């Protein structure tokens, strides 16, 4: 039993295989946090709530209620009533006053897990997950607050979400609705986050949690290149194999905040949810507001165990695509090969050469529609440009299929160009502030997805194309952030709902898409990796990791991404050199090894690359076919980090039974050393013996992990090697 309630002591307990989460009730009905950490095997107690210490609970000492609220470890703190730490929930009544206080009413425990209306959310069978739902109420506002917790035992994951129901007669304005809070005593925590920029997404950053508030956030309408909806608090000395980790990841694709606050009493409050900036929601009588889900995990075995918890969870309980456990086709995308300058024959020439090398799919990127010959027109005009595609799209697809390749296509459905037929017909469909010249980015504006007619237009624009030909893959892009937040559809009291309604619109569109086209391979993208989050994984099994395809830049991008997300979700391609983003030249072999730690594909003009590189493609294709299942399904281990040592990078993927381990080593920079480099590996059975494929060498797993493996024979910067160990 994963969820248990001790009625005598008023304690809730959620257990996974390696962790326990404990919640307690005060005499007044405050819901407090008692414990989250290593699995407990004896009964839990509530003394950690400190209710027997001054200033005591309000029922004992009403005159110091504020002092009590300012230190009590709340499960879901509310604002305006005396807890001056970061609140999770702020609501304003019809008189304009902000304040709320919620108390326990009842609870429900059930096997399985319910979905969240209009939102992506994890799922599981009755044998895989058990759920606790605590009903709290603000008796003054007649407001119900449902705190939901689901325990996934095998993956050591607890998910949390919040649902708000207005049972009163007045319309309330929700001004902040976070999804989770974790109150703990400080253990000299360090805060680990993922930050970056365009082409440098999700670099790992770590800093001390000091007094006050430290946060990462996005107010750009998407999760963004710059910050990421993930935060972990780690104890000093935490690395891949040791230390305590408390992590949160947000199942949402819009504005977010993740914050840690060290208080005057040396406690730490960790919160996550929809960013309160430019957010409010009118909750009318009988209305419900559902906040998105948070995925929590605890690891007492360092970051490596946290990573594997998340990987298993997202593979088992978030991704729904039929491609989840299938080999993804090796594709070639024409973007860096041609940009906007292509026609049917150019695409077919790429397809013929790709087929000869063993590539399985051609993807036609931007420029096939309207008058789209550059990035300053035609978004929204999703009609085929037959000046480029002579004979039409269906003819092109049939010719590509006849060559023996599948066909994929690029869309940017959420955007509109001022220079487009659609904008000339419906300028009111763009997000805008009336009377103010809207800010353009990449010569485009954003469609107002709060409008039902816009959702219908966008969906049909995509669906009509997909119905017209044998298209098996879609790359769904979003190349700018949101600004000038105004809707000509929403009334003046609802304008601050636009950010959230936009995200709900994206989810609605993609839900319709995967419902009508269930066998479609959908890959999300946002100017590269600006919307790489668990919410999008609910609709697409892979996301374009970054527009920067340089193998060396990708080392840190993919290290940070793989800290949380399975390798099979990371869109990774081999591109031409000098690289189009950074100008660096790296060996074709190294580019292949780095892309293998992702979905694997090509982003180049195969008709123009050197003969030496072209001859390597069939070899790389065989490499992918040999290892794809291991990489997609296996356990990931981070061995060494170029981010930390500035010379080399190393990671491993082990089969679940540990019968085979694939190690990738990249020598980045540094003088050639006279002797080998020793690397302590992970992912082996200590007692087993392993053969190194291609050699006569045999090792015990124990020696490889405790003693190490010797890397030798690499010459020159940016060189790499794969090592495949197979159990005897």
* Residues classed as catalytic: 477, 547
d(CA 363, CA 335): 9
Q: What is the DSSP string of 365-410?
A: -S-SBTT-SSTTS-TT--SB-TTTSTTHHHHHHHHHHHHT-EEEEE
d(CA 116, CA 133): 13
User: In the 8-state DSSP scheme, what is residue 585?
Assistant: -
Q: Which of 645, 631, 655 is nearest to 679 (CA)?
A: 645
What SS3 state is found at 667? strand
Residues listed for the chain? 728
Q: Which of 7, 35, 52 is nearest to 182 (CA)?
A: 35
| Site of tokens 């030496």 | 612
φ, ψ of residue 297 in degrees (nearest 5): -145, 150
| Cα torsion 441, 445, 450, 456: sign | negative
**What's the burial of 441, exposed, middle or buried (CB within 10 Å: 0-12/13-18/19+)?**
middle
Q: How distant, in Å, are the alpha carbons of 73, 131, 181, 349, 593 from that of 257?
A: 20, 25, 12, 47, 35
Helix (H) / strand (E) element for 213: namely strand 212-218
d(CA 84, CA 75): 15
Q: Strands across the sheet with 570-571, in order? A: 570-571, 542-544, 521-524, 473-476, 406-411, 361-364, 331-333, 601-603, 574-575
d(CA 429, CA 418): 11
Q: 530 near 477, Cβ under 8 Å? A: no
Q: Which of 206, 207, 213, 204 is nearest to 260 (CA)?
A: 213
Tokens (6 digits) for 672? 């050639």
Q: Strands across the sheet with 698-700, in order? A: 635-640, 648-654, 660-667, 719-727, 689-692, 698-700
Q: Which of 613, 610, 605, 612 is nearest to 349 (CA)?
A: 605
d(CA 178, CA 291): 7
Rg (CA), the chain: 27
Q: 632 near 568, Cβ under 8 Å? A: yes
Q: Which of 165, 103, 160 is nearest to 133 (CA)?
A: 160
């Amino acid at each position: 039993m994963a969820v248990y309630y001790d009625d005598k002591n008023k304690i809730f307990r959620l257990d996974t295989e390696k962790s326990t989460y404990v919640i307690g009730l005060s005499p007044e009905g405050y819901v407090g946090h008692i414990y989250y950490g290593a699995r407990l095997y004896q009964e839990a107690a509530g003394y950690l709530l400190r209710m027997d210490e001054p200033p005591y609970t309000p029922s004992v000492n009403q005159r110091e209620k504020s002092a009590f609220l300012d230190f009590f470890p709340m499960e879901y703190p509310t604002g305006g009533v005396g807890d001056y730490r970061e609140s999770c929930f702020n609501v304003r009544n019809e008189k304009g006053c902000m304040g709320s206080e919620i108390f326990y009413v009842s609870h429900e425990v059930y096997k399985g897990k319910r979905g969240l209306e209009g939102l992506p959310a994890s799922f599981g069978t009755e044998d895989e997950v058990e759920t606790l739902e605590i009903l709290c109420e603000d008796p003054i506002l007649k407001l119900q607050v449902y705190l939901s917790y689901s325990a996934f035992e095998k993956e050591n994951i607890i998910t949390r979400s919040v649902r708000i129901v207005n049972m009163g007669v007045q319309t309330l304005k929700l001004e902040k609705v976070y999804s989770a809070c974790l109150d703990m005593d400080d253990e000299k925590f360090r805060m680990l986050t993922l930050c970056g920029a365009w082409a440098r997404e999700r670099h790992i950053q770590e800093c001390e949690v000091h007094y006050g508030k430290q946060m990462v956030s996005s107010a750009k309408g998407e999760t963004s290149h710059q910050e990421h909806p993930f935060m972990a608090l780690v104890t000093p000395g935490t690395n891949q194999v040791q230390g305590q980790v408390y992590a949160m990841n947000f199942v949402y694709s819009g504005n977010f905040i993740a914050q840690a606050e060290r208080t005057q009493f040396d406690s730490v409050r960790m919160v996550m949810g929809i960013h309160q900036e430019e957010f409010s929601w009118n909750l009318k009588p009988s209305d419900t507001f559902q906040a998105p889900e948070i995925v929590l995990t605890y690891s007492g075995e360092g970051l490596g165990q946290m990573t594997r918890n998340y990987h298993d969870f997202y593979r088992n309980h978030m991704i729904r695509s039929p491609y989840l456990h299938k080999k993804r086709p090796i594709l070639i995308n024409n973007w860096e090969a041609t940009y906007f300058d292509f026609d049917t024959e150019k695409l077919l020439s790429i397809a013929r050469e790709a087929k000869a090398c063993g590539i399985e799919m051609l993807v036609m990127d931007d420029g096939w529609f309207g008058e789209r010959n550059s990035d300053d027109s035609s978004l929204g005009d999703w009609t085929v440009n037959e000046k480029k595609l002579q004979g039409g799209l269906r003819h092109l697809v049939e010719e590509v299929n006849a060559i023996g390749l599948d066909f994929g296509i690029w869309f940017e459905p959420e955007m509109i160009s001022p220079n487009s037929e659609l904008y000339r017909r419906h300028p009111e469909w763009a997000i805008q502030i009336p009377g103010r010249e809207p800010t353009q980015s990449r010569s485009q504006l954003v469609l107002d997805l709060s409008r039902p007619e816009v959702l219908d237009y966008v969906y049909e624009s995509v669906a009509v194309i997909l119905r017209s030909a044998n298209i098996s893959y879609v790359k769904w892009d979003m190349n700018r952030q949101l600004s000038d937040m105004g809707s000509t559809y929403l009334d003046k009291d609802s304008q601050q709902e636009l950010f959230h309604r936009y995200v709900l619109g994206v989810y609605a569109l993609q839900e319709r898409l995967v419902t009508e086209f269930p066998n479609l391979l959908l890959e999300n993208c946002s100017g590269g990796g600006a919307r790489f989050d668990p919410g999008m994984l609910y609709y697409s099994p892979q996301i374009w990791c970054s527009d920067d395809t340089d193998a060396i830049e990708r080392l840190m991008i993919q290290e940070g991404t793989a800290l949380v997300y399975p390798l099979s979700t990371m869109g990774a391609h081999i591109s031409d050199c000098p690289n189009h983003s950074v100008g660096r030249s790296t060996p074709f072999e190294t580019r292949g090894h780095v892309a293998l730690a992702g979905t694997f594909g090509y982003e180049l003009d195969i008709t123009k690359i050197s003969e030496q590189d072209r001859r390597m493609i069939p070899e790389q294709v065989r490499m992918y076919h040999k290892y794809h299942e291991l990489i997609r399904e296996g356990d990931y281990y981070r061995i060494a980090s170029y981010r930390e040592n500035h010379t080399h990078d190393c990671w491993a993927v082990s089969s679940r039974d540990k019968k085979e381990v694939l190690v990738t080593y990249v020598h980045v920079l540094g003088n050639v050393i006279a002797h080998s480099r020793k690397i302590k590996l992970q992912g082996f059975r200590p007692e087993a013996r392993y053969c190194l494929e291609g050699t006569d060498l045999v090792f015990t797993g124990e020696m490889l992990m405790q003693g190490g493996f010797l890397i030798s024979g690499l010459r020159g910067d940016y060189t790499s090697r794969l090592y495949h160990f197979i159990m005897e």
